Amino acid sequence: MDRIRNSSTSRRTLLKACTALVVAVTVPVTVGTPAFAAVPASPAVTYTNAIAEQRADPHIFKHTDGYYYFTATVPAYDRIVLRRATTIQGLTSAAETTIWTKHATGTMGGYIWAPEIHFIDGKWYIYFAAGDANDIWHIRPYVLECADANPITGTWTEKGRIALPLDTFSLDATTFAVNGTRYLAWAQNDPAVGPGTNIYLAQMSSPWSITGTPVMLSRPTAAWETAGGETVNEGPAVLQRNGKVFLTFSASATDSNYCMGMLTASASADLLNVSSWAKSTGPVFATFAATSQYGPGHNQFTVSEDGKSDILVYHDRGYKDITGSPLDDPNRRTRVQKIYWNADGTPNFGIPVSDGLTPVRFSSFNYPDRYIRHWEYRAKIEANVTNLADSQFRVVTGLTGSGTVSLESANFPGYYLRHKNYELWVEKNDGTATFQDDASFTRRAGLADSAGVSFESYNFPGRYIRHYDGLLQLQPLSTSLDQQDATYYAE
């Protein structure tokens, strides 16, 4: 990860800033020929976290009927619940219905974990893990089926247990299809391999049965997969894009050590050949203390309301220290945030962002592959920002009050984009009126494209945030190039 540190670079004097300003206005030369951007294919979407308190192992499915369907593990581990809403945010206040309750005796009478809802061949299916009433740790995967249009009011029938070749602790079953072939992925213990759980994959012959011999895709061996004294790979989830299949999974103990790893394969490869998959060398999503997000994991994926953005769905906790077993702590909560994509076609999950409004990125109008980002606290535009959070900002009510906005750093909460000597920096709010004024802007329709956005200074009206030689400046605008340099798209 790129590291932001205190800069020892001396501040430019006001005289130098003014001189640079004159040059910028009178000689608006930029190296290279910019390629003017179209409106981004994946415009900004924002949500307010958490989506649901005390709901772990979340799964949100967007159906063709216009509804999002949401299910998750409840703290009592005794039932399966469903909500639906026409927006992801609407799930927060949506009524919740219990559609199935654990058995009083026998199988499916113990812990009920990690339900997922899928729509396959015209019917609804819920995959979940359950223990036995007389042995709550006899965890195995099971399936429910509903043929009605509305799964909340419809009738659910038990299709029974998914028969696996190995009759051992197994959970977190999920299903997906690639090139017309449906697969089941799950986590399971194999005593012959060692303690803990591994990720397995098999082809399916029906929505409740597999065929052929499963393959073990991942075994937890690295330190980041075994932290907290647990040997864990679990919670597989699949995202497909750019001709690739990305299978994320959760690793380590279910406390602050919990994190996400990822396997990657070509969509045209033999997915049942373990050599087709490459494993991340470290976690792709992990605890981030600065935003007070601990143990993010057991994720799934959905899409935004406009269908143009991939959305990460996951749970975490808002505190690090847990008393007793993590299983007895009820406060894992469901959260969402947008996924961005690296230049090489791989997903970039960034960091688990702060509670509240999710951040956005701002791409340059005339250099569409470049984003506003901070480096050593200096604001600039740059391409290929793999340290995603450096280029994410929360657009909040301006520090000077309503009518303005302020841009808060995603990975440095409490730090804002502010101008100083007509340069843009990311600095901590010191509570002074000067800082509040310098960090407040009037959001305008994009000066070069009304579909974009431009930011006018609150305390220097007529001056806008624009890039010049790759750095962000606060300048008056007099040419069309100036306006282009001061126009950005929210993504």
Residue with tokens 């090489």: 344
Q: In what order do the strands lie in the sheet with 294-303?
A: 294-303, 310-317, 333-338
For residues 51 and 120, is the Cβ–Cβ distance under 8 A?
Answer: no
b/e per residue, 269-301, with b = 16+ CB within 10 A?
eebbeeebbebbeebbbbbbeebbbbbbbbbbb
**Chain CA centroid to CA 332, Å:** 16
Annotated active-site residue in 57, 230, 310, 316 = 57
**How far is the C-alpha of 126 from the C-alpha of 272, rounded, in Å?**
24
Ramachandran area for residue 324 (φ above 0: left; ψ -120 to 50: alpha; else beta): left
Contact 9, 460 (CB under 8 A): no
What is the pairing mode between strands 347-348 and 340-341?
Answer: antiparallel
Nearest Cα residue to 332 out of 9, 55, 43: 55
| 148: annotated active-site residue | no
Q: Cis peptide leading into 410, omega within 30 of 0?
A: no
Output Rg (C-alpha) for the chain, integer angstroms.
25
Amino acid identity at 5: R
DSSP string, 434-471: HHHHHT-EEEEE-SS-TTSEEEEESSSTTEEEEEETTE
270 is catalytic: no
Catalytic residue among 116, 225, 230, 234: 234
Which residues participate in catalysis according to the annotation?
Answer: 57, 234
